[in-house]
Structure 1
Amino acid sequence: MKTPSVFWAEVIMPFLRAKIAEILYSKGMPQSKIGEHLGITQAMVSKYLSGSYKKLEGSLGEKVERIANSVAEMIFEGAKKEDLVKFVEAKFFEMLADPDFCMAYERYSGISGIVCQEIIPKGRERREILELLSIALRSLLEDEKFPSLIPEIRSNFAYALPNPRGPEDVAAIPGRITVVRGRAFAMPPEFGVSRHTARLLVKVSNVRPEVRSVLNIRAGGDVEEALKRADLRVAFLKKERRSEEETEDAIAALFRERELDAVVDRGGFGIEPCVYIFGSDPFDVLKKLRRIEENL
């Protein structure tokens, strides 16, 4: 019986493993070590690296490649195997609500793709969002360089449900991330605890549905130079008087023009200059943060 989970195992997972292997190998990881992380033999890693696997084309392929990038980043961050399993499994349930996945499953099985959405466990999406943001937050709090990048208004780290309708669909950090005795400190993430960051992410996601996570850090000449050296796609908001809502609308408008990794807000009356790092998920955001830190 060709269920959605069988489609995931037979079609999506080989492509996902191959892309993860390619990323890890391009960063200098030995094939034997890659095999350990992926739970496959070195011979299978070599097969993937030679291109001997079925390719996924179009937007579904692009989405799976984004997952692969996040998994690779988690591996480089030293994530536990349990966390990797949780992340990939969460992405499976997330895909059940994705039209591209459902249509591909329909072509694969001959069964209506509607069945995918009908088997999503009630309430699972929100639990998975909190779990994945918590894993990423732990990694962020262990980053010794991060405290120096927390702005006066403090940082927030947010992750939205697919196609969020409002701040209640965005998980973030209650009270934001602060510095205690030289170390970053934060409470566990919750839904509906952020105002500005959540609204911003909702507005950006409405323009670019693939953008579902954001982290803000301090601005400054050194950070702008690091953004440039990191070769990230960056846009700027000039310094001017505006409200929080106007700032959110202005940033969302920038995403209508082109894809972006970060936006530098040079501030205004009552608005502290700030840099917003955007990504498809929290681990994509962390990957971009690391590139900034490496170039500071």
Structure 2
Amino acid sequence: MKFIEEVVVEEFLPTFRSMLAEDLRAQGLTQSEVASVLGISQSAVSKYAHGEVARNDRVATDDRVRELVTRVGEGLASGDMTPVQALVESEILIRRLERGDLLADLHEEMMPALADVDHARIHDPDSAVRTTERVRSSVRRGIRTLTNASGFSTLIPNVGSNLVECLPEATGLDDVAAVPGRIFDVKGQATVPGDPEFGVSEYVASVLLAARESTSARAAVNVRYDPALVESLSEAGYVCLEFSPDDGDEVDGVREVLADAPALTDVFVLYQTGGYGIEPITYLLGPDAPTVADCVRDLL
């Protein structure tokens, strides 16, 4: 009797880890950094690098495995993907390959009695964990675009900026990922307090959720208000809509202006010009965090 998990451990994992270690080393990570990212010893990384670990040719040449190695390697090296997301993505592929596919074939070769057995799916490829990690990764990419953009700090309002993105079926603030504590201008440098988390934004997340009631927007970023800035956005082809905050609450104003707006499926702009005790703010909303971040970068 041989479990398919043994096939994963004996054939898939050594091959996948050696390919991933090789990919990370090729991207400039040291042996120590690769060991830390993969959660293995430096001696294991050395063995992978020197070809001392046997690879299963069928696993190594599978296009899906090669694509995953490239995607996970790039994500881990850049910081866009956490070890948790890398694990989830790898687990998803493993479970797919176990069900009447590559790993199932290898399993059947080792245990012929399994030829007529349907390998049941164990993990759901559309799991909540995978979805939340992808949203967090998306926000990270957007943040990097903003902080790498020369002059972004000049667009940060006094209340700070935030970049948010929500889950596909978001219903509340806990379904929105954002920068904890907001992004502030510290001596001309955009400063990000921490890694994106869910449920840490109130103002920008509330605007996004209100906008989602009548649009398909899933991400938003706030910057300072400036008539010239809004004019530039309008000239760039974005729909720009002014709303009025109601006693300091922007949500009702957003709902009201969008109720009469044309269908908005791409990036669009909402802005309010302030009031007593209310700082004027401009919001860019769109399909995902990197897209709205790109729009902000293009203003600079």
- Is 1:257 the equivalent of 2:249? no
- Is 1:154 the equivalent of 2:160? yes
Question: Measured at CA, do residues 124 and 239 of structure 1 come closer, stay the same or move farther in structure 2, by a change above 3 Å?
Answer: closer
Question: Measured at CA, do residues 251 and 152 of structure 1 come closer, stay the same or move farther in structure 2, by a change above 3 Å?
Answer: farther
Alpha carbons 1:240, 1:268 under 8 Å: kept: no
Gaps of 5+ in 1: 1-79, 94-114
Question: Measured at CA, do residues 239 and 165 of structure 1 come closer, stay the same or move farther in structure 2, by a change above 3 Å?
Answer: closer
The C-alpha deviation readout for 1:162-214, integer Å capped at 9, x for no partner, is 021100000011111001221101122110001121122122223223x1000
Match of 1:82 in 2: 74
The residue type equivalent to 2:274 in the other structure is: G
Return the TM-score normalized by structure 2: 0.55
Q: Which of 274, 283, 287 is equivalent to 2:290? A: 283
The residue type equivalent to 2:238 in the other structure is: L
Match of 1:164 in 2: 170
Alpha carbons 1:241, 1:268 under 8 Å: kept: no
Q: Secondary structure at the match of 1:154?
A: coil
- Is 1:124 the equivalent of 2:130? yes
Q: Secondary structure at the match of 1:231?
A: coil
Q: How does 1:4-43 map to 2 (within 5 A)?
A: none
Identical positions, percent: 28
Report the aligned-residue RMSD: 3.1
Alpha carbons 1:173, 1:193 under 8 Å: kept: yes
- Is 1:235 the equivalent of 2:214? no
Number of residue pairs the alignment of both structures matches: 188
Q: Secondary structure at the match of 1:207?
A: coil
The residue type equivalent to 1:217 in the other structure is: V
Question: Measured at CA, do residues 268 and 143 of structure 1 come closer, stay the same or move farther in structure 2, by a change above 3 Å?
Answer: same
CA distance in 1, matches of 2:73, 2:287: 21
Return the TM-score normalized by structure 1: 0.56
Give every structure 1 segment of 4 or more consecutive aligned residues whose post-TM-superposition deviation is greater than 6 Å: none
CA distance in 1, matches of 2:209, 2:234: 27
- Is 1:266 the equivalent of 2:269? no
Alpha carbons 2:246, 2:252 under 8 Å: kept: no
Bigger radius of gyration, 1 or 2?
2
The residue type equivalent to 1:124 in the other structure is: R
Alpha carbons 1:133, 1:159 under 8 Å: kept: yes
Alpha carbons 2:245, 2:252 under 8 Å: kept: no
The residue type equivalent to 1:265 in the other structure is: Q
Alpha carbons 2:244, 2:253 under 8 Å: kept: no
Alpha carbons 2:220, 2:283 under 8 Å: kept: yes
- Is 1:218 the equivalent of 2:210? no
Alpha carbons 2:222, 2:281 under 8 Å: kept: yes
Q: How does 1:41-52 map to 2 (within 5 A)?
A: none
Alpha carbons 1:241, 1:269 under 8 Å: kept: no
